[in-house]
Amino acid sequence: MTETLQISQLGDSALRQIAQPINNVHESWVQTLINNLMTTLVKSNGVGIAAPQVSAPYQLIIVASRPNLRYPNAPTMLPTVMINPRSLTHSQEMAKDWEGCLSVPGIRGLVPRYRAIAIEYTAPDGTMQQQELTDFVARIFQHEFDHLNGLVFLDRVESTQELVTEQEYLKRIVSTSADLK
Ligand code: ZN
C-alpha cells in the first residue's frame, strides 16, 4: 500500500532546511518513502520530486521526465530514484528555460541551469550509480537537488520580470512549441 503525501507549499519551513544523508537505503522506512513519493509524483503530474517537499528532510529525489499536462514537451524516461545524489562535474554552458514546482503552484520562471551535468547517487538497491544528464533531464536534477539544500527555483530566477503565471506559460509554450523538443 502506498499513500499520496501532502506537498509542502512555499512558506513552509520544511522547504528551507538542509536534507540529511540516508545511511542505510535498505531500512524499511526508506523504501516506504520512495513508494509514497512515487505515488505522489504521478498523482500531481510532476516530472520530479524531492523528499523535503513532503516534509521528509532526507537526501532523496526522483527524476521522472515525461510529457504531461504541466510539461507537454518533456522527454520520456524511466523514473529514477536517486539517494544521496551529488554533482561531480558540469558544463560551463548554461541555458535558461521555464520551470515550475509542485511547492510553488501557479507560477513559472525562467531559470538558468547547466546544460550537462555528471552525477553520482545510490540506487534503491544500494548500488552506486554514475550518470551524465543533459538538457531538460539535467534541469530537473538541478531543480530537485536544490530542494535538498533548502532552495526553490524562485531563488535562481535572475529577474522577477521572468516570472509568469501558469496560464501565461501555457500560452507561450503552445506558441513556441515548434522550437522545443
Ligand atoms: Zn520543486
CATH class given for the domain over 13-180:
alpha beta
Alpha carbon of 103 to ligand 1 centroid (Å): 6
- Pair 48, 41: CB distance under 8 Å: yes
Q: For all residues of the chain together, what is the average pLDDT?
A: 93
By residue count, the chain amounts to 181
pLDDT at 95: 97
pLDDT, tens only, 3-26: 999 999 999 999 999 999 999 999
Q: In the chain, where are the structural domains located?
A: 13-180
Out of 144, 162, 166, 168, the active site residue is: 144
- Pair 79, 61: CB distance under 8 Å: no
Nine cell digits for residue 108:
513559472
Alpha carbon of 47 to ligand 1 centroid (Å): 9
pLDDT at 176: 60
pLDDT, tens only, 79-99: 999 999 999 999 999 999 999
- Catalytic residue at 168? no
Alpha carbon of 125 to ligand 1 centroid (Å): 25
| Beta carbons within 8 Å of 5's beta carbon, 6+ residues apart | 36, 37, 39, 40, 54
Cα radius of gyration (the chain): 16
